[in-house]
Structure 1
């Protein structure tokens, strides 16, 4: 009996530790995936950008979809101290900076879309200045100077700055969580942004992570169900039947609520569609890997 109690205690501690680890990891995944991000077949021109912004304000945008555009390139970035960092990942954006580069800021804030401001990674800040306390100092990219508005946490050398054209990606908000692919393609057609070649389903990936975070609670729930069934089996005849009937009612009540909590892309259009279930795992992996499926 003593060994059994110790075993339950160890299992409980392991479940708590697992829950804490999962919550930390899930919080990071959710913070890194705020939008559905699409890759465009060709860079967006200034005219296409203006048309997309005009469409966002029009009555045709019934879902209130908004887009933040960005692209990246490798370039050299220099500082007043005559230090230069090569092969810096330079991300030009238009829209919401945090949607284009979801990061945690150690100092300051993200740059705005207007003005000569930029934000740099902690690694780049240390390379160029040997410090993170560098708000208001300047760096130069392509012979243009930018005032540093913030320093964000990153192990790579990265610079975030406002741009006007040449965007190859769009981070979209306002899409239906059940049909993100269809909504994204309709957005691209309506705005004239061009063909979409890849989609990263950020909110769907975050949902899967949050579902995985419920794994310890699910294990505990299953253990309680087993104990409950063992208790019911030990009851005398009449009570045994009544308890099973009550359990069946509880199950029938819980199933619709459970299905309602699931996103539409995890539920078949017809329950008789047996071809849906073999491809479900593929759908989940495509969501995580950013494929067009």
Structure 2
């Protein structure tokens, strides 16, 4: 057999094999896309059901975890369902504008039933529910009446390079940095319509960063400023006379009003994460309805 004949034989064998591989790959891609599209439709249906809740303004984000989706859709059970509603109205801002928070929930070992007939009153059974409510710096400032407030989570002392991209978002319950402008004793909370952070404010004020801790007392989040922040993070350090420090710390301390959580899950802990304040709660197995989110 000549070399040209052998090459021709190999080519004849490889050609149908290549075609078979291409066909199988195409079928897998089509199956994957079909699974993804079907899951997206089911997630959209659940999102619309959750949006029936009076507290949910915008269509929430929904993820039905479990692959392949089509086999799970028939049973309606999922290892985890993740819901995230943004812009949920929160109380406690009075005339300082509308306060909003982001409300998240993770339902583990969840049973949704027929995903194609989900309604606002459809029962969702679960073995465990984790709830998180995130308050960003702007809304925390409105709640605390410090218009330019900013919350930051410094890396722990001695952690060189802490907070870099490889670390993800840092979390802390103590040593949290709060920055903002507050009036000194004898100065009004506002100068007409101007808060202390405005250049038009004409009374004594300070722009400082304080070190604070967060805790949960009777289901409500408590923030306590304990000292002026002097760490390595970029911060503000206006001079605060010793006799005025307790006054300044008091302005940076507050017990927040009850804030929305997924299905009114009680808050058991709180922490700072990046530039957000995060409230955390957990519930054991039970049943909830989308419209009560």
Bin of the TM-score, shorter chain as denominator length: under 0.3
Tell me the TM-score normalised to structure 2 length: 0.23
Tell me the TM-score normalised to structure 1 length: 0.23
The structure that has the greater radius of gyration is 2
